[in-house]
Amino acid sequence: MYPDVWGREIDIKKEILKDFPILGRKIGGKRLIYLDSTATSQKPIQVLDVIYEFYSRSNSNVHRGIYKLSEESTEAYEKSREKIKKFIGARDKREIIFTRNATESLNLIAYSWGSQIIRKGDNILLTVMEHHSNLLPWRRIAREKKANIHYIGITKDGRLDLSELDNYSKLEPKILAITHVSNVLGTINPIKDLAKWIHDLGGFIVVDGAQSVPHMPVDVNDLDADFLVFSGHKMLGPTGIGVLYGKFEILDEMEPFLVGGEMISRVTLKDESWNELPWKFEAGTPNYVGAIALGMAIDYLNALGMDWVYNHERRLVRYALDKLLDVPGIKIYGPLDDRDRGGIISFTMDNVHPHDIATLLDEDGICIRSGHHCAQPLHDILGVPATARASFYIYNWEEDIDALTASLMKIHKLFAI
């Protein structure tokens, strides 16, 4: 796809931008500037081609046929599982479960595993910066099991407040469910340290990697995560495909979340037995084309190198923080050090509602997100009902941030009192 040696940086930019046809579109006569990759990423032509090519030449259900098309489909599907295993540093491809998205993965963990190990009076530890998807499943399990939920708070600059860890240790929490990178604050949390802490207490860690796996090198064994989840559509892949990683010994003991076809070993009129990992958790016809396209997305990211992706975003974040802090009346949430945050900047402006900011930016062809970003408790703590959020990925460059800053300057003048 790309040479190993890129040469000048401008050549990288040219090669990447030509792979994303949507970025050639005009919005109201303005160049499209897409700054909402935290919600979903754009897709390169290589991924789009895989989807068309597979449906037009090799489409057949996986694992169920002994004819050529089915064998091709199964081989491609399982090859993607192997790619994902290597991409996140898993030990065994049976530790990779395909789901619809990170939300389904977290619900699977909570219901299939959390409901097995949580007992009355047990403690579950979350953080106040969690996405609703890593908060609500655990709250439901806690209600059903009469367990307790506790929260790690944040400091004034948007980092986790770990000064109370000794007090949390006394609770002996059974589970720590935590985001790797906040989808609002951009904060990168110290997962490896927290994994050691919870393991020393005899507990387990569940990591929401939706905002980390697409943007930085992630090694589940180095982190020592018991579970880690992410979504394909946030990392150049299609919608409708997600991944659940779990340590083999835990997955092997878990009951399936969904039952039906493919996930069984044998069914009689009186009893049933489950299939082996990973198929025990993949009931029904899976989104095999989505999984295969996600494999191509991983190929694309590997060609760039995840170190390059991470450093590219760090440079953009540093540039954006310097530029945006010059906008009068702006307030940026989260750490102001690019080493401690991912490519996410949430902000508010004096006298302007975030929805108005997003609407006016759209008139200049700039796409950002406004709202509570499925993190209402965090926004309550921040003292605002909503924020505007700009997020960056491999196809963004400094001129996108220049355009964002110029447009925000116009918005400030429009609303200045």
Catalytically active residues, by annotation: 374
Bridge partners of 36?
391
Quote the CA–CA distance of 47 and 44 in Å, as a whole number: 6
Side-chain half-sphere CA neighbours of 178 within 13 A: 29
Q: Of 139, 144, 178, which is closest to residue 162 (Cα–Cα)?
A: 178
Q: Are 124 and 152 in contact (CB under 8 A)?
A: no
Q: Are 321 and 332 in contact (CB under 8 A)?
A: yes
Helices (H) and strands (E) in the chain, counts: 15, 17
| 11: its two tokens | 């050549």
Q: Are 377 and 358 in contact (CB under 8 A)?
A: no
Listed as own residue / partner, the contacts of 381-386 with beta carbons closer than 8 Å and 24 or more positions apart are 381/128, 381/153, 381/154, 382/333, 384/348, 386/353, 386/354, 386/355
Query: 110: Cβ–Cβ under 8 A, 6 or more apart, which residues?
Result: 137, 138, 140, 141
Angle CA 152–392–378, to nearest 5: 25
| 78: its two tokens | 């399982």
